[in-house]
Structure 1
Amino acid sequence: MSQYEMMLIVPADLSDEASQKITGEVKKLIEKEGKLLDSKEWAKNKPLAYPISKHKAGSFWLMTFEAVQKSVPDISGKIKAVPEVVRYLIIKKD
């Protein structure tokens, strides 16, 4: 299994509870396919460089997880289906 990092952006106008709920859903998606190692809020209500889907700010979450390489596209596809996720990026750690 390889290690991956994911940066996740959720809308800044969400309450803390709603933000926790969304990231909880994403964590469950990751745990179905692999093993979540770490999850933390990196920045709250940070302005975006440019608007994304009419959002001008977002809360950034950094997650580290282990998964088999074949399961990463499945994880990515499931995260795309979560409508509250503004943007995300998954990279493989060396």
Structure 2
Amino acid sequence: MKKYEIMFIVKTDLDEAANKAVAENMKKVLMDQGATIVEEQDMGQKELAYEMNHHKTGHYYLFVIESKDSKAVKEFDRLAVISENILRHLIVKKEA
């Protein structure tokens, strides 16, 4: 199984429930594609190093997942790019 670390930043102008819903949606996408969530961290709201799309703060989430192929990661990447609520995302393949 391949292991991946996925970090993404959600806009902070959403209310708390909508913010969590974005994270849950992305988690569901990964699980629907056959990935297993090994670790999940809600890192909270932090100030960004520089302004992104007129936002100075973002709500950070980190998922560590295991997947037998890259299908789940590719689908997450596709949806994260499309989503208006996700400012940035980063996917890193971890060494075994």
User: How many aligned residue pairs are there?
Assistant: 93
- Identify unmatched segments of 5+ residues in structure 2: none
SS of structure 2 residue aligned to 1:83: coil
Does structure 1 conserve the Cα–Cα contact (< 8 Å) formed by 2:4 and 2:91? Answer: yes
Structure 1: give runs of 5+ residues left out of the alignment.
none
TM-score (norm 1): 0.88
Determine if contact 2:29/2:75 at 8 Å carries over to the other structure.
no
Q: What percent of counterpart residues are identical?
A: 28
RMSD (Å) for aligned C-alpha atoms? 1.4
3-state SS of the aligned residue for 2:70? helix
Per-residue deviation, 1:12: 2.0
Give CA-to-partner distance per residue, 1:28-80, whole Å, 9 cap, x none: 111122112221211x2211011111111001111111123431223211222
- Give the letter aligned to residue 87 of structure 1: R
Structure 1 residue 92: Cα displacement: 0.8
The CA distance in 2 between the partners of 1:80 and 1:88, in whole Å, is 8
Structure 1 runs, 4 residues or longer, greater than 4 Å off: none
Residue of structure 2 in register with 1:38 after alignment = 39
Displacement of 1:85: 0.6
Q: Counterparts of 1:37-56 in structure 2 under 5 Å?
A: 37-42=38-43, 44-56=44-56
Structure 1 position 82 matched with structure 2 position 83? yes
Does 1:5 pair with 2:8? Answer: no
Aligned partner of 1:22 in structure 2 is: 22
